[in-house]
């Protein structure tokens, strides 16, 4: 049988009534898993990759194979796909000069698998952010936020009484960020969809209030920064879309470019009085960490020390090239800045590839109308701000949450006839 005949036969099977019912059931399962993500993260704060992976499997099987393959090929051939694919390949190559290649490979999987899952969901064309699904996600975010506020207010007394999990308030940092990132597409979808009812807009407002309350009740400085960036970026982009997009592109490129010298710049720019005010956020400690990792970057600026090497950089041969007073902080686990981590592990080559991917993504947003551009640009700015001062860059939960937010936006994206050009 010829290839066109095979594809036609497969398509006919895929669209038969039993297959359609099966696909609808799988798509419903995938939707349920994506909706449940905030609540599951509240219960288990590293579970996002598992939930997201199961959802992607459901959507992938629900899709029609010929269409899925075409969509996958188109996504991989796009500028963003080529840049991200190039970075993933370079990261694998860099394991050759890592001192912990097995651990680096595991970390590479934490990065690559959620990205692949997000690509699979989009390529399946089986996920649509219908009003009922958006309402369900909003309710899940509100419930997760209120549960975290209640637990924080009670001093985790329920977990302590039951003797389950880590009984420390930082365990909510990840689910708080999850709710924050997923709130943007659901608020935007409920508020701006054609024929949005008063009930939907009230639900969107309640989602925003619940996420804001939860964020400021938590101890996560990164989440608070992200919320402020999200709100400011959204508001400014609605009024000045061209300026906001240009400023975001410039800030992204500049932050990535200065990462090798971030510690030195911050050390000179931030006075002791500011560090005293930000003591709870450990700002002075972060600057010292950036100074230490900055020396490691400058020792191997082109190719880095190998993907995943940051987790134990104090045992890497590059540590010998770092001044003795700075070596101790190479053992903190990661540099608490994604741009710094990119440079440390993959060097200039990795920074250029990820920089190109980010700029290609932002360029792609330029044709969206301001009301659709605003939440997407705000999420990008908030996520990059949090990653620049917070957790490890390749943690699976973080990549899964970011990819999930992108998937929700894609599921409710504007039609081509709604596009304009912000250039």
Span 328-359, pLDDT tens digits: 889 888 899 999 999 999 999 999 999 999 99
Q: What is the pLDDT of residue 165?
A: 65
User: What percent of the chain lies above the pLDDT cut of 70?
Assistant: 91
Query: Which DSSP state fits 315?
Result: G
Task: Report yes or no on 297 lying in a domain.
Answer: no
Structural contact between residues 372 and 414, judged by C-beta atoms closer than 8 angstroms: yes
Span 162-200, pLDDT tens digits: 666 676 778 899 999 999 999 999 999 999 988 889 999
Span 146-162, pLDDT tens digits: 999 998 988 877 777 76
Sign of CA dihedral 72, 78, 83, 86: positive
Q: How many domains does the chain have?
A: 1
Which regions of the chain are under pLDDT 50? 1-14, 414-421, 423
pTM score = 0.90
Task: Report yes or no on 325 lying in a domain.
Answer: no
| Structural domain span for residue 105 | 11-258+339-414
Q: Which residues, 6+ apart, have CB-to-CB distance to 115 below 8 Å?
A: 84, 88, 399, 403
Span 100-117, pLDDT tens digits: 999 999 999 999 999 999
Task: Report yes or no on 166 lying in a domain.
Answer: yes
Based on its alpha-carbon atoms, the radius of gyration of the chain, rounded to whole angstroms, reads 22
Task: Report yes or no on 153 lying in a domain.
Answer: yes
Mean per-residue pLDDT over the chain, rounded: 89
CA distance 306 to 92: 9
Q: Which residues, 6+ apart, have CB-to-CB distance to 282 below 8 Å?
A: none
Task: Report yes or no on 332 lying in a domain.
Answer: no
């Amino acid at each position: 049988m010829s290839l066109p005949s095979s594809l036609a036969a497969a398509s006919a099977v895929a669209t038969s009534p039993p297959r359609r019912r099966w696909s609808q059931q799988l798509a419903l399962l995938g939707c349920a898993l994506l909706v449940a993500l905030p609540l599951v993260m509240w219960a288990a704060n590293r579970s996002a990759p598992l939930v997201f992976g199961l959802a992607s499997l459901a959507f992938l099987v629900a899709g029609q194979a010929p269409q899925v393959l075409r969509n996958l090929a188109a996504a991989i051939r796009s500028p963003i796909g080529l840049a991200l694919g190039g970075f993933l390949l370079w990261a694998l190559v860099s394991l050759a000069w890592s001192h912990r290649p097995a651990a680096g490979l595991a970390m590479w999987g934490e990065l690559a698998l959620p990205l692949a899952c997000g690509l699979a969901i989009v390529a399946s064309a089986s996920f649509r952010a219908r009003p009922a699904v958006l309402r369900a996600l909003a309710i899940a975010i509100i419930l997760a936020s209120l549960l975290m506020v209640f637990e924080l207010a009670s001093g985790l007394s329920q977990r302590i009484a039951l003797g389950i999990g880590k009984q420390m308030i930082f365990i909510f940092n990840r689910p708080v960020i999850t709710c924050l990132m997923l709130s943007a597409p659901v608020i935007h979808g409920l508020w701006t969809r054609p024929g949005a009812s008063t009930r939907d807009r009230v639900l969107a407002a309640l989602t925003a209030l619940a996420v804001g309350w939860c964020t400021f009740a938590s101890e996560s400085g990164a989440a608070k920064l992200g919320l402020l960036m999200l709100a400011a970026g959204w508001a400014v982009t609605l009024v000045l879309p061209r300026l906001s997009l240009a400023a975001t592109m410039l800030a992204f490129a500049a932050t990535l470019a200065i990462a090798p010298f971030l510690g030195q710049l911050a050390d000179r720019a931030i006075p002791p009085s500011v560090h005293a005010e930000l003591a709870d956020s450990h700002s002075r400690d972060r600057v010292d960490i950036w100074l230490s990792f900055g020396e490691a970057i400058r020792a191997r600026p082109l190719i880095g020390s190998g993907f995943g090497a940051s987790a134990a950089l104090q045992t890497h041969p590059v540590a010998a090239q770092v001044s003795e007073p700075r070596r101790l902080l190479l053992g903190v686990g990661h540099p608490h800045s994604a741009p710094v981590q990119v440079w440390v592990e993959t060097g200039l080559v990795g920074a250029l590839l990820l920089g190109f991917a980010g700029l290609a993504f932002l360029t792609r947003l330029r044709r969206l109308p301001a009301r659709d551009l605003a939440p997407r640009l705000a999420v990008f700015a908030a996520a990059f701000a949090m990653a620049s001062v917070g957790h490890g860059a390749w943690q699976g939960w973080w990549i899964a949450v970011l990819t999930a937010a992108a998937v929700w936006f894609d599921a409710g994206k504007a039609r081509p006839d709604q596009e304009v050009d912000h250039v």
